[in-house]
Structure 1
């Protein structure tokens, strides 16, 4: 069993199925990550290990209600930042006080930001009056290992399950 880090290991650029045998299964990603960290602390060749999320789900968590006030407020804020940036750029090429272009850019940015936000929100016609955040989660997370090292990984992860501290594997 080698413990050297292999930085040149080819990571696929296209989606491919993972290789290896299942050595453990966990309910959360944090538990699977803890298991791989335990393997690494035990000097196990973790370059042969893969965490696979099984049965992925798209979860959309609703964060709040969307109203015209909130839409116009966020539109004004984002437009203000863009207007401030443009105003600062213009002020670098202006002779005289720099506050004029900055304030003009800020005002125009707020107006355009509110206008574009109102147009976008109005186009939905009340079909989506909430703000949400999406994430992909899995029902379980399997830890896979190449067959040559699978039994060693299972043995180490059994020690983790009963609470034994990580000890380096001897060759």
Structure 2
């Protein structure tokens, strides 16, 4: 019993036949949704990203004002959260004072910690970025028992390119 639970939680490489190949994830998703609308057993399907790449998109240059401002905003959010909690249990009438004080202290601590963190990089990374994993293509893979039906249905939808057997 324990082995069954353990196996289900560990992802496995999907087996089956490719029934459609798409350049975007949304096209692959539309194909599976179309099959679902036709009451196809979608539990036989998997969407597989092929030719994976890690893409780091540079979104801007880091400067001291940007670092300190971002730290202040980040700290202010934490201050708002803590201030709201303390304000709920504060003496009646003092809630707003506790809330405002927490917000200001949070912003100051956020600025200080962001500045220290940025200074410690020594100018090695003076840009901000976001990272994502993207695929060159997305294949819809199907159990061999129902693959031909899925392939024909996807081809009839006219989404992307259908894989021939």
| 1:134-166 Cα deviation digits (max 9, x unpaired) | 11111111111101101111111221238xxxx
Structure 1 residue aligned with 2:82: 86
CA contact (8 A) 2:142 2:150 kept: yes
Aligned pair partner of 1:119 in 96, 113, 116? 116
Q: Given the two structures, how large is their TM-score scaled by the length of structure 2?
A: 0.82
Aligned pair partner of 2:155 in 133, 158, 166? 158
Query: Take 1:96 and 1:24, find their aligned partners in 2: how far apart are those partners?
Result: 64
Aligned: 1:34 with 2:25: no
Richer in helix (by share): 2
Change (3 A) 1:26 1:88: closer
Describe the SS at the equivalent of 2:52.
Answer: strand
Structure 1 residue 67: deviation in Å? 0.8
Describe the SS at the equivalent of 2:124.
Answer: coil
| 1:118-143 Cα deviation digits (max 9, x unpaired) | 01111111111111111111111111
Q: Which runs of 5+ in 2 are unaligned?
A: 1-6, 160-165
CA-based RMSD of the aligned residues comes to: 2.0
- For this pair of structures, how many residues does the alignment match? 152
Bigger drift between 20-29 and 77-86 goes to 77-86
Bigger drift between 67-76 and 39-48 goes to 39-48
Aligned: 1:97 with 2:80: no
Q: Which runs of 5+ in 1 are unaligned?
A: 1-10, 163-171
Structure 2 residue aligned with 1:146: 143
Correspondence list, 1:56-71, <5 A = 56-71=52-67
CA contact (8 A) 2:48 2:139 kept: yes
Structure 2 residue aligned with 1:15: 11
Runs of 4+ in 1 over 4 A off after TM superposition: none
